[in-house]
Amino acid sequence: MSSISNLALTIVEFVISLGILAFLHELGHFLIARLFKIEVDEFGFGFPPRIVRLFRLGGTDFTLNWIPFGAFVRPKGENDPSIPGGLAASNPWKRLAVLFGGPVMNLLAGILIFSLVFVKVGAPDPNVVQIVGVSPDSPASVAGIQNGDIVLTVNGTKVTESQNLSDMIRQNLGKQVTLSIKRNNQEIVLKTTPRVNPPQGQGPLGVLLGNPVRPINWFESIPYAIQMTYEQIEQMALLPGRLIAGNIPADQARVVGPVGMFDIYQQARQRDTQNQAAQNPQTPAVNTLLLMAFISVALGITNLLPIPALDGGRILFVLPEIVTHRRVQPEFENTVHMIGFALLILVLVVITTNDFLHPIALP
């Protein structure tokens, strides 16, 4: 297949993948609206102008549109509280639930994709410590420790986790220690002396620690997936503070648009293709799946930011009404969202231009 064909196929895959995430976001809004009997005029696949109305169900027109990127939901009376049965005419709690529906659906999609990855490749066993790297001429190398060895005990004390092993080694710097190692289902006893002053970038033994992967089922994968989702949300929340403190270079935390995301997607697909060629054609596309999970979670959290025109900006106008029982004037709210939408488009143009001028390269 030619490089042009490969590029075209990757673009189609990317548009479909991102479109599915956008569709799930809008599906969340739609399902919650219908749950509270709020009428929805249109559920569109892609963005206008409209190509054709596919069908009508429950008072909603399901349409196919010309811009093949994402989806949208148009609730009845979205911005006009004078229209009965519409979104703006419903009570604030229902409006709040509808607004949260999209982001929550993206978070659930992220958890589902993370779960799929863990089911496909397994999960690390935190209670088993494995050697995943040995530095040349290090005490571990001289003692005969090899990649893949599992450390059972240190001086007769059971090893329960990586930190536990590190602590025991550091308590015996310059002293000979006895390690019980499991290799190919056989237990081996080795002796070595941790260095007091190891070379830069190495530890006292000169080993890199990890955890062996064990197969898990869907049910077991859920806690791991939730933890991954939580960690990503935490990283996003801490990012501004780390940037201000100078802990992360600005060029490593830049905002990317669709073009930048495509650059990352293309490189993830290339890595998966290389892994499949080197290992097995059935090897799961882990890099691509993880990227889509990250994007889904980021999409959900970003939409909750208190920015006009986004779900978070609309939520910001609903919260005072719940507390004061007085509604912000719809005309004022609509004007704010209109200005916010225009600014978002402008920002997107700037980000996209930067993506073209400075393509993303994965480390």
pLDDT digits (tens, 9 = 90+) for 149-206: 999 999 999 998 888 899 999 999 999 999 999 999 899 999 999 999 888 878 899 9
Share of the chain above pLDDT 90, in %: 53
The count of other CB atoms within 10 Å of the CB of residue 258 is: 17
- CA dihedral (126, 129, 132, 134) in degrees, to 10, reads 150
pLDDT digits (tens, 9 = 90+) for 107-140: 999 999 999 999 998 988 888 899 988 999 899 9
Q: Across residues 241-263, what is the average pLDDT? A: 75
pLDDT at 285: 86
In a domain, 221, yes or no: no
- CA dihedral (311, 29, 27, 104) in degrees, to 10, reads 60
- CATH, residue 138: 2.30.42.10
Which position has the token pair 């249109």? 42
Find the domain containing 136 and state its range. 129-214
Gap between the Cα atoms of 347 and 33, Å rounded: 30
In a domain, 207, yes or no: yes
Tell me if 140 sits within 8 A of 168, measured CB to CB.
no
pLDDT at 253: 65
Tell me if 102 sits within 8 A of 303, measured CB to CB.
yes
pLDDT at 21: 93
pLDDT at 260: 85
pLDDT at 363: 58
pLDDT at 62: 94
Say yes or no to pLDDT of 1 above 60: no
In a domain, 26, yes or no: no
Select from 40, 18, 20 the least CA-distant residue to 98: 40
In a domain, 83, yes or no: no
Share of the chain above pLDDT 70, in %: 96
Residues counted in the chain: 363
Q: How many domains is the chain built from?
A: 1
pLDDT at 252: 63
In a domain, 167, yes or no: yes
pLDDT at 248: 67
Select from 63, 62, 75, 77 the least CA-distant residue to 101: 75
pLDDT at 150: 93
Q: Please name the residues in contact with 360: beta carbons below 8 A apart, sequence gap of 6 or more.
A: 256, 260, 263, 264, 267
Q: Across residues 10-30, what is the average pLDDT? A: 91
Say yes or no to pLDDT of 247 above 70: no
Select from 355, 345, 281 the least CA-distant residue to 309: 345
In a domain, 163, yes or no: yes
pLDDT digits (tens, 9 = 90+) for 36-69: 999 999 999 888 899 999 999 988 999 999 887 7
In a domain, 174, yes or no: yes
pLDDT at 251: 61
pLDDT at 211: 86
Question: What's this model's pTM, rounded to 2 decimal places?
Answer: 0.81
In a domain, 202, yes or no: yes
The count of other CB atoms within 10 Å of the CB of residue 294 is: 19
SS3 per-residue string spanning the chain = CCHHHHHHHHHHHHHHHHHHHHHHHHHHHHHHHHHCCCCEEEEEEEEEEEEEEEEEECCEEEEEEEEEEEEEEEECCCCCCCCCCCCCCCCHHHHHHHHHHHHHHHHHHHHHHHHHHHHHHCEECCCCEEEEEECCCCHHHHHCCCCCCEEEEECCEECCCHHHHHHHHHCCCCCCEEEEEEECCEEEEEEECCCCCCCCCCCCCCEEEECCEECCCHHHHHHHHHHHHHHHHHHHHHHHHHHHHCCCCHHHCCCCCHHHHHHHHHHHHHHHHHHHHHCCCCCCCHHHHHHHHHHHHHHHHHHCCCCCCCHHHHHHHHHHHHHHCCCCCHHHHHHHHHHHHHHHHHHHHHHHHHHHHCCCCCC
Gap between the Cα atoms of 231 and 154, Å rounded: 32
Quick one: angle between helices 311-324 and 92-121, nearest 10?
140
Residue 139: CA count within 13 A, CB half-sphere? 23
Mean pLDDT (the chain, rounded): 89
Six-digit token string for 89: 């005419």
Say yes or no to pLDDT of 250 above 70: no
Gap between the Cα atoms of 179 and 209, Å rounded: 14
